[in-house]
Structure 1
């Protein structure tokens, strides 16, 4: 008795990494915790060349969420989304307002808001999107 085997193509490609997210309460230790969470994800995804830039932006966006975007008793969501060797960082909060890079007199940066200047300088793109309630502040690194 003979049996016939049917060969089927096998997908040998590695599936893309899954997004990671974590919720943080409105407390000071959330910023270093968010940075550690991001560092671990970047290491798992082997995103090394721009990891330091990504971590600075995670710190700045998390700090901005805590200082300006998270009402008392709430928190923020950090979401990391890998794509084609890059990563998108999103910070979701329930606060009002739209963050912007501040400008002081004569084109000099204003006293506050320098974190967004860093994000704008380090990330390939950044922006703000709607969320009900609140907003999503994001940045991308190719």
Structure 2
């Protein structure tokens, strides 16, 4: 049976750090830390995009984690009306931004966007090693 945790974050720069800490805490609690660096990178990039481009001023964004067997799903939902394209685009070599979704797509096993009634959810999935599979054989 899947388990899920979510948390809302304010539209502030410090919230990206807090979103990373939330993800680390949840995954550590679940005993699924084998993909922790990849998932933390993705929450950083997706939360930053929600903060800069998705969540209108005065609104929040939501980070959710779901564990279903060995699959971890990370989703970041915002309430903005901006459409998002996760197609392959090259960032300008001189640009200081524009690489976040590409990074997320590279480290995740799958990625997509779900349009919501209000806003959208950008999600990534990761195949994780079950804590039981890591145990040494008896």
TM-score for the superposition, normalised by structure 2:
0.83
- Does residue 44 (structure 1) correspond to residue 29 (structure 2)? The answer is yes
* TM-superposed deviation, 1:62: 0.4
The correspondence for 1:109, drawn from 60, 67, 91, is: 91
CA drift of 1:17 comes to 6.0
**What's the counterpart of residue 128 of structure 1?**
113
In the TM superposition, structure 1's runs of 4+ consecutive aligned residues that sit over 4 Å from their partners are none
**What secondary structure, in the 3-state scheme, does the structure 2 residue paired with 1:133 have?**
coil
- TM-score if structure 1 supplies the norm length? 0.81
The number of aligned residues is: 123
Aligned CA RMSD, in angstroms, stands at 1.4
Matches within 5 A, 1:6-21: 16=1, 18-21=3-6
The offset of 1:55, in angstroms, is 0.5
Structure 2: state its 5+ residue gaps. Answer: 128-138
Bigger relative contact order, structure 1 or 2 (CA pairs below 8 A, ≥6 apart): 2
Partner of 2:131: none
Deviation of the 1:83 alpha carbon: 1.4
